[in-house]
């Protein structure tokens, strides 16, 4: 991996591009590859290291070869290594770019899975954390006061006000003569 010479009884070597004589011995030549070796990336003593991962070397440049789970390289920067903990990150929960939705609540990321704690008056009635706490329990006729209560009256129009079902009006030809909305 180089060109040897002898001058005045002293051996020397000039290394070929991509190789170096890191141990200083001309007897074994230019023994160290420097274009793909993370221990000598670009030259002797230039070791690559990656926070929470495994380093690599491509064309004399240090790179991230792999990340140690649950960490990931979500910003594609070698300088901070595998700096994202996908088990707890609200912006990269379980995988890079998977944002936990906190609409009308407080988002969480536990063991790489998004969760949400709804604010008072809101519910996650569809069970999906991707759209947050989508139901306003104070006004939603399908989820009035809680996720299980739908406002519906026979032959009438219903509304939800302050978390309680209300009879708005009766259909043409019908009346609420006894004043009981339930029937």
Q: What is the pTM of this model?
A: 0.74
Average pLDDT of the chain to the nearest whole number? 95
Q: pLDDT of the chain along its 183 residues, tens only? A: 999 898 898 989 999 999 999 999 998 999 999 999 999 999 999 999 999 999 999 999 999 999 999 999 999 999 999 999 999 999 999 999 999 999 999 999 999 999 999 999 999 999 999 999 999 999 999 999 999 999 999 999 999 999 999 999 999 999 998 888 888
Residue 34 has a CB neighbour count (10 Å cut-off) of 21
């Amino acid at each position: 991996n180089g060109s040897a010479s002898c001058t005045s009884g002293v051996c020397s070597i000039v290394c070929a591009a991509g190789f170096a004589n890191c141990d200083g011995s001309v007897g074994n030549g230019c023994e160290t590859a420097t274009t793909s070796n993370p221990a000598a990336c670009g030259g002797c003593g230039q070791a690559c290291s990656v926070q929470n991962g495994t380093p690599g070397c491509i064309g004399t440049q240090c790179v991230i070869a792999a990340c140690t789970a649950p960490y990931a390289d979500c910003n594609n920067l070698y300088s901070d290594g595998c700096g994202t903990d996908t088990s707890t990150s609200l912006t990269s929960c379980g995988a890079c770019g998977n944002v936990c939705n906190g609409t009308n609540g407080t988002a969480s990321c536990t063991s790489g899975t998004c969760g949400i704690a709804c604010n008072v008056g809101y519910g996650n009635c569809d069970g999906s954390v991707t759209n947050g706490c989508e139901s306003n329990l104070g006004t939603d006729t399908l989820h009035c006061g809680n996720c299980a209560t739908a406002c519906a009256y026979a032959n009438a129009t219903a509304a939800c006000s302050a978390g309680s079902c209300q009879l708005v009006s009766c259909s043409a030809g019908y009346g609420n003569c006894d004043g009981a909305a339930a029937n």
